[in-house]
Structure 1
Amino acid sequence: MKGTGIEEILNRRIASPVPLGSYPSSDVTFLLKDLSAVTLERGTAEREEAIQSGTHYSEMLPVEYQPTEQYIELFHETLQQSAEKVALAVAVVSEMIVAQRKPNCVLVSLARAGTPIGVLIKRYIAERYGRDLPHYSISIIRGKGIDENAILYMLQQHGLDADLQFIDGWTGKGAIRQVLIEACNSLDKKYGIRLNDDLAVLADPGNCSGTFGTREDYLIPSACLNSTVSGLMSRTVLRDDLIGPEEFHGAKFYKDWLDTDLSNVFIEAICPYFPSVTEEALKIADEMLKSPPEITWAGLRDIKSIQETFGIADINLVKPGVGETTRVLLRRVPWKILVDTMDNPNLRHILLLAEDRGVPVEVFPGLTYSCCGIIKPLKGESE
């Protein structure tokens, strides 16, 4: 480790975190600047045009989709049906983290889809092993990287040898995993600190993670909703006019929606299943640790095939997997939805949302994923 790098980490002045989000403070600390007073939202069509014209997605926010009553019912129904399945995936990932990481492990969720998963992992490890691991939620942005101040803050708090375990909800193409790998390499070159770039996820349909609960592309109920299942936090924001050199990346805390918040409902529905899934989780985790699953990035082959079939030049307009397709329908301008089969039980909410927004759904045989959302190209790459 470079001496000057250590000194810079220890001496870097970084703003202290402020209380944010609707989770109990014992569950997570958000390392984010509060931008709640700033108007950042743009309408879906205006935002889509801005993104496809070169404005970075992290410089503005979508208007948060307010789910219909029918959609909220679907969330509760899906949560009831899949709570045990989600608990098993959480338990598998948690057991792998405990087996592979040092005792000074720090859980680091990638905001915002990673946050509820990080809370569940923290709860599982505390319940099963009596270890209260620190848990933070930090920003990582495609095209801009990870929040360096957040990383340095955690190292200042927990020591330069702290074992940071990054956590997200699921994988799509693997873009965030690639950003994480690049960020860890960059930090090594800059400060001489070597972080483990392993990304723990509940579902890895993109085949790009080594620590996961399953590779099945199924609906994790937290993918159904935006802020109302993620501690009432917005997506993260990075703009030079809003974020100073000593500050964390920013986000908004939607306090006005506390009455309709489901963040803790999601957590409390899953935790009771932990004792009953532990034995099976141990077997699965043990098997994966003995024979580590191959990281093939298989999902990228799907994307290339879809790009060729539909004449889509920009890979970022293709969003694979249940989680990413849900996001396309909630906050982008969808062109069409591709599914592996129309009777896939994992797709009920996708079909409901597509119908609600008038988006055509097509069967695309042979998908690695359950489904794939295609954002409407606005510059004539396709019809």
Structure 2
Amino acid sequence: MEEDIDLEEPCGSLSEPKEKHDPLFIEEDEDDYFEDCLEEIQAAFALPGVSMAYSQKCQKTLQAEFNVLMRQMLTQLDEFEATHETKSSLPSLRTERENISVASCFKDSAECEDCISDTAVSMAVVEHEGSTVETVPELSATMELKELGTTFESCIEEVRRLEGRKEELVQELLELEKPMEEETRALRSELEEAHKLLCKAKLQRHNLLNEMRLFKRRLFAAARDCAQSQMTLVIQQKEVEQLKEEQVEMKAFVEKLIEVIDQLHSEHQSQVQALQNQIDNMTQESSKDKTHSYLSQGRRASLDLQQYLQGGIKALEEWYEPRLVALLKRRQSCTDALIKYREQCQDLKTQLGPLKEEEQRLGLGEGPPGGAHPSDGEAEKGKCGAIPCNNRSPRGEQPRTKN
């Protein structure tokens, strides 16, 4: 009998309509089955010889089927409540329902046992007294059947009442689930919005990190160029200082040469004057022929002396003029390079201005890599500005070659 009973599947989601729920407890065909069982029991009790054993067997079978149905109902309720947990008063109702069903089961089983015991006693009395009192078991059997019928009807009514209560609880649970579903939808929409905002913030953060990385690279390149320019500027400053020292030495040497030339020129003038005096004396003492010869000799001697002096001056010019010209060209190239590097420093300063503003805008607290700072370039530029670059000596300072 237990194999013929099909366990019903647990109910699905509470959002499904009521028509989709399968019947939970006893159906109409099961009611007909119980009525057929009662008719068979009545027919069996009509036979006094086998009524006792058959009635006990039927009672045990019906009690087992009833217990199986009650356990099935309780398990379905447990599954239903486990899959649809709410904050309503379902646990208390469940416990109350279980207590009622268990009490009814115990009551029915006790009544059945009492009926069985009464039937057994009556059957025993009938066996001892003989066939003269055969009407007594028939009366007890009919009373037993009536009690069983009333008991089964009360059980069926209780099951129907519990099924109606179950439907009410399902409706209550559906009503309780509606605001929960609405809140769940609202929370899901809020979660989706928050997820979108989070993705957007991550994308912005990634873009900002890329911009910061590019900015750091540009800043590092600018600082590296600035450091290289500062090094070349220091080298050029040292070269300019060396050129200044060489220029001072050359000026001193040129002044010495000018003094020597002036001394030679004064000696030449004194010799010419002495020769002119000798010529004047000779013209007064000698005749005109001797005067002519002396004049020619004096002129020849003065020409020889002048040629000698011009040869020395020319040798000095050939020796010192290329060096002076090379020094002047070198100084001019150094001056041009210094002006060029000043312009490069100014360009770097103008490039560092917007980079510094962008760094302040991005909120970077670090200095440029390598320890380079725009103020260092300004300090170096100030040092360069302090160097006198217009120390070019005029070409008029070269030694004079003509009288």
What's the TM-score once normalised by structure 1's chain length?
0.16
Name which one, 1 or 2, has greater alpha-carbon Rg: 2
Higher relative strand content: 1
Higher relative helix content: 2
Ranked by relative contact order (alpha carbons within 8 Å, sequence separation 6 or more), the top structure is: 1
What's the TM-score once normalised by structure 2's chain length?
0.15
